[in-house]
Structure 1
Amino acid sequence: MWARSQYWEQVMATSSRGTIADRNGITLALSVPRWSMFVDPAFWDPSQLSVLGQHLPKQVVQKLQKPLEGRFMWLVRKLTLQKGEEILSLNLKGVYGIKEMERSYPFGKHMAHLMGFVDIDEKGLSGVERQWDFFLYNPPRMRNLIRDAAGNYFEAANLSSEEEMVFPKSEVVLTIDWRLQYIVDDALQNGASMNNAEWAAAVCMDPMTGEILAMSSFPSFDPGNRETFSGDALRNNTVGRVYEPGSVLKPVIMGIALENGYVNSKSRFNCSGSIKIADHVIREVNWRAHGNQDFNKIIINSCNVGMAQIGMMMPTTFTYNALKSWGFGVSTGVELPGEEEGLLPLPSQWWGVVPANIALGQGIAVTPLQLAQAFSAIANGGLLVRPYLTKNVFDRKGNEVYHGQRREIGRVLSNSTAERLRMTLRQAVAEGTGKRADVENAKVAGKTGTAQVAHRGKYLQDTHVATFAGFWPYDSPRYVLIVTVGNPGAKGYLAGAIAAPIFRTIVEEMMASGF
């Protein structure tokens, strides 16, 4: 009887993780206190189940209906403080509570793929939570519980809890602006839903620094509600999905050709509506003949025949190496887990019509973030800069252990070539296929891209990816924005009708909000 009245129990209880904040200091993820309930079988009275069962999940009730062994069994973890107090106020024999910490995400689904989520023991499993888990995670603390003769549990003094109060918690500060993130995410989720899309992605960057200001993926989930964790909803399409970009790659190919003398202001290309290369026929939409064109008109009209001719002019190894230098087929190194490298075939595979297809954005696979990096080079005067998401990381003692900063990868265009492309891309919006992305006074420049999806070596006729890649204002760009919509099931499939309006909505909302 003495041993029973002096019983000790050691329980592992989760601790606080470090916080995650946006560039303005707004908290995006934090730990909040919760009640976790357990039962001591030695004091449990089965007749209490009818009362307790009203507050517990069905599977827990089923466990309590069976004989219990040992001296400790979790009932339910991490209830809200109000719910935990309700159960404790019942004063049931053998039923006790212990305080734990649980991750909370104030912005819910609007930050889901960026934040990621944690497991029941607060270990980071995806997103920023996983990327910086080494600094954010605090191991569970051993809690020493003592039961008195009346059956009540008390927690013994614990030095680790005192230490946790002395030192500041670790913190990760992102380059994200929560206001811009909300605008981008809201527009993408609504636009993708309206178009009955299978998936979508959007990323907004500062082209001068490489800072990622917003990043959104559809479908989304609530990181605080595991019932929403299903299938593709957990994938961050911005970095974790590759697809053929289509015509949105044409400005990059044109930039390579201009920069290296394969095309100049005097070059002319004839488009009769189609062209045969090897054993393939490349044609225009509706077989439309664009006639005699310079490099400017090829981009404005999104001319396939003209781009195919340019693709065939350049040596395959040269074009391959140039695309590599633009960041294609190479991961950007952004501070997020699960980033894909994309697909850039080796030059030995560039036979027949392949060089022409790649000039049209076919036969190459990219991520939206790689496109944002490439368009940033056009926007900033020709420098490829690494996209980055993290401004600072501080450990538990407040020491800065990581500092994100602008990093140049290399120059891919001269300033003069980049300027020519910016002017052309402005015309592509004002006069060409990107008209529905234009916003008054914003001076948007950009390019549409509609690509078929390949499956087992053949292109599916009814499956497309629609992209609009752009920046503004074109003469001194401050923002680069990529919007990609995968397999839209309504309102057609052309990027000018699907992705461009979402882009415009984001720009309009940003301008109205002072960005």
Structure 2
Amino acid sequence: MTDPTPPSPRDPAESPTRVVPDTAALERNNRRALSVGRVAMVLVTIALLALLGRVYQLQQHPSPRIAAMIDTQISTRDLDARRGSLVDRRQRVLATTRVAHRLFIDPDIVEDPNTFSETVGYTLGYDPAWIEQQLFKRRGSRYIVIDKQMPEETYELYQQTPELLELRGLSSHPILVRDYPQAQLAGQLVGFIGHEGKGLDGLERAYDDRLAPDPGQHAFVYDRGRNRLWLANQNYKLQADGKPIRLSIDLNLQAIAEEELEATVTKFEGESGQLIIMDPRTGEVLALANYPFFNPADFRDEKGRFREDAKLAQRNRSVTDVFEPGSIVKPLVWAASIEGGYATASEMIDTTDDGMWKPQRGPLLKDSSYGPGKGHGEITYEEVLVQSSNIGMAVVAERMGMDALHKILDSYGFGKVTGSELPGEIKGMFRPVSKWSWTDLTRMPMGHGIAVTPLQVTRAFCALANDGVLVNPTIEARADDTEDERRTNITARVLSPRVAENVREVLARVVTEGTGRRARSDLYDLFGKTGTAELPDLKNGGYHDNLYSSSFIAGAPVDQPRLVVGCFVHKTTKRIVDGQYTHYGGVVSGPAVKRVMERSLIYLGVPTKEDTEVTTDTVADRSR
């Protein structure tokens, strides 16, 4: 074997040549790439800005065609909120909003209408034939309401029946409904709302802005298949419930007032009546009863219309209707005449022996009992009020003159709304003095020629119980029963404390020995005044021969009055039952006021006369 031939040495001329890079070319290429990159970045930035601008334009100022498409992709729904509640002074509910349930059908997915209607009807107590009729009558509809508001027991039965829960085409959804758990109790005062949730009457209307909720809102974005994608946050608004309002009404006192009022109107065959309980110190209305009663939870017929009986009972006649008050005005004028120095309580007044008197101007005036020897004769001015003498009041009124008498009645708030904020309140009828006749001068002090609401005259009587201070009646409970809080409600001082106390003492005699004897109580010392007024004949003029308003207003206890109670029964007639006339205010309304006063003061914890005497004796024994 021979050795391989060794390689020949490389010729230096044949060795590879080293390439030197072209620096200028490289720089040109780099600059070209950088320029292209910059242009690309600018173009991309412009494109992104254009895209953002387009998005902004589509969101804020879309064309009508695009806007229509957007609307189909976003669905906005209200978030329900509850209307505020009305509660009494002890937080007991008169009106509230609760969740109920509505039963409905989607006919498009009902598999067998005949079986469906029978299953639903017989199980839940609906008419199967009616359900089947609705299915065929409203074919094509996706929402047929079977029950607008299911009773709680029906809804519970529905929830506990698997067959119904699995039945295709039947479903329910929650709704908010207004509930009046006290039924007719304070019905006219509370009022009611309409189908849109707006207050239409009573306090529901008066306080509508404060009770109304602030509904929220949210929106969902949907795809083409109507599937929810996400919540559109920019359209979200949180709902807020309405604020509750605490009333001055006490439901226990309201129940007492309505019970006694109904019994009184029924017994004396009146047409209607009102009974008001007020705290004379604060002006708070503790009870405001109207008869016939009105139930805000049940006043429509099966077609949703007002029933005729409900129409007659709906009005809050304590503030919407007026009547001639009669003799319950006398203590107001009597007190002011003492205050003004026109007479003194001990002054002798000639009321004539036959009960008939001819004024300086105007027609003959008669007392309630007149004829030979039937008059009161010469009696003190105090006795004039105790015996309710028309002549005695007219004699002093002539001394006062028209201007002074008009000013007195005006100071008690007659001819003006009371400021109670109750819907429909009217100011009554009290003519300016320029339109008075000489007859008015002698008739106004006995409550004729003037028309007032029950709340007006009860409020005026509160001035006698409140040491001469007239307060605004309020239906909303006061936050604090303090002296400062009471001062904010003062309208004016109409009498001095001394005169107010004096007139209370005289009115206590009215109850013990005068026309209000049937209101005399063994438990509390009452002071009050009766009123019996003929009803005006609005059709033929003058007055009806045998139709009356029979009234009585009282306060108690005499020394430190806690309550004022007024009872007014209208369209009573003069009949003799058990040896007594059935139209006099003392006979009709006096006993009712007595019972209401006794029951109310006991409920409020006010000591009776017996309790006070025991306490006084105990203190005296300890001081010995």
1:119 positional shift: 2.2
Say yes or no: does 1:363 pair with 2:449: yes
Say yes or no: does 1:75 pair with 2:146: yes
| 1:143–1:41 Cα change, 3 Å | farther
Query: Which residue among 489, 494, 499 is the counterpart of 1:407?
Result: 489
Amino acid corresponding to residue 394 of structure 2 in structure 1: A
Higher mean alpha-carbon deviation, 192-201 vs 446-455, is at 192-201
Higher radius of gyration, 1 or 2: 2
Residue 208 of structure 1 corresponds to 281
TM-score with structure 1 setting the length: 0.86
Q: Distance in 1 between matches of 2:487 and 2:107?
A: 56
Amino acid corresponding to residue 192 of structure 1 in structure 2: V
TM-score with structure 2 setting the length: 0.72
Say yes or no: does 1:239 pair with 2:310: no
| 1:461–1:12 Cα change, 3 Å | farther
Spell out, residue by residue over 1:220-259, the C-alpha distance to the aligned partner (whole angstroms, 9 max, x if none). Answer: 1222112476122111122121111000000111122111
Query: Which residue among 206, 217, 231 is the counterpart of 2:290?
Result: 217
Spell out, residue by residue over 1:396-434, the C-alpha distance to the aligned partner (whole angstroms, 9 max, x if none). Answer: xxxxxxx99741111111111111111110011111011
Instruction: Count matched residues.
Output: 493
The answer to whether the Cα contact below 8 Å between 2:556 and 2:564 also exists between their aligned partners in 1 is yes
Structure 2, unaligned stretches of length 5 or more? 1-71, 222-227, 301-306, 480-484, 607-624
Query: Which residue among 10, 15, 22 is the counterpart of 2:88?
Result: 22
Query: Which residue among 258, 263, 283 is the counterpart of 1:185?
Result: 258
Q: Distance in 2 between matches of 1:109 and 1:43?
A: 43
Alignment of 1:367-406 (within 5 A): 367-391=453-477, 406=488
| 1:69–1:177 Cα change, 3 Å | same
The answer to whether the Cα contact below 8 Å between 2:98 and 2:177 also exists between their aligned partners in 1 is yes
Spell out, residue by residue over 1:253-300, the C-alpha distance to the aligned partner (whole angstroms, 9 max, x if none). Answer: 112211112222353321221123445332122313011122211111
Residue 535 of structure 2 aligns to a residue whose secondary structure is strand
| 1:75–1:297 Cα change, 3 Å | same
1:186 positional shift: 1.7
Identity, % of aligned positions: 30
The structure carrying a bigger strand percent of its residues is 1
| 1:59–1:410 Cα change, 3 Å | farther
Residue 304 of structure 2 corresponds to none
1:385 positional shift: 0.8
Residue 584 of structure 2 corresponds to 494
| 1:168–1:71 Cα change, 3 Å | closer
Residue 108 of structure 1 aligns to a residue whose secondary structure is coil
Residue 40 of structure 1 corresponds to 106
Amino acid corresponding to residue 358 of structure 1 in structure 2: M
Q: Distance in 1 between matches of 2:367 and 2:136?
A: 71
| 1:161–1:435 Cα change, 3 Å | farther
Query: Which residue among 307, 310, 316 is the counterpart of 1:230?
Result: 310
Amino acid corresponding to residue 33 of structure 1 in structure 2: V
Residue 262 of structure 2 aligns to a residue whose secondary structure is helix
Say yes or no: does 1:475 pair with 2:559: yes
Residue 170 of structure 1 corresponds to 243
Spell out, residue by residue over 1:87-112, the C-alpha distance to the aligned partner (whole angstroms, 9 max, x if none). Answer: 57435543321111222223221221
Residue 103 of structure 1 corresponds to 178
The structure carrying a bigger helix percent of its residues is 2
Query: Which residue among 274, 288, 301 is the counterpart of 2:356?
Result: 274
Q: CA RMSD in A?
A: 3.3
1:34 positional shift: 0.9
Q: Distance in 2 between matches of 1:58 and 1:327?
A: 62
| 1:343–1:170 Cα change, 3 Å | same
Alignment of 1:454-473 (within 5 A): 454-456=536-538, 457-473=541-557
Q: Distance in 1 between matches of 2:135 and 2:176?
A: 25
Amino acid corresponding to residue 379 of structure 2 in structure 1: Q
Structure 1, unaligned stretches of length 5 or more? 1-5, 147-153, 394-402
Residue 129 of structure 1 corresponds to 204
Q: Distance in 1 between matches of 2:547 and 2:220?
A: 60
Q: Distance in 2 between matches of 1:69 and 1:452?
A: 65
| 1:53–1:410 Cα change, 3 Å | same
Higher mean alpha-carbon deviation, 14-23 vs 491-500, is at 14-23
The answer to whether the Cα contact below 8 Å between 1:121 and 1:140 also exists between their aligned partners in 2 is no
| 1:63–1:219 Cα change, 3 Å | farther
Amino acid corresponding to residue 243 of structure 2 in structure 1: S
| 1:357–1:20 Cα change, 3 Å | same
Amino acid corresponding to residue 485 of structure 1 in structure 2: V
With CA pairs under 8 Å and 6+ residues apart, which has the higher RCO, 1 or 2? 1
Residue 149 of structure 2 aligns to a residue whose secondary structure is strand
Amino acid corresponding to residue 182 of structure 2 in structure 1: F
1:188 positional shift: 1.4
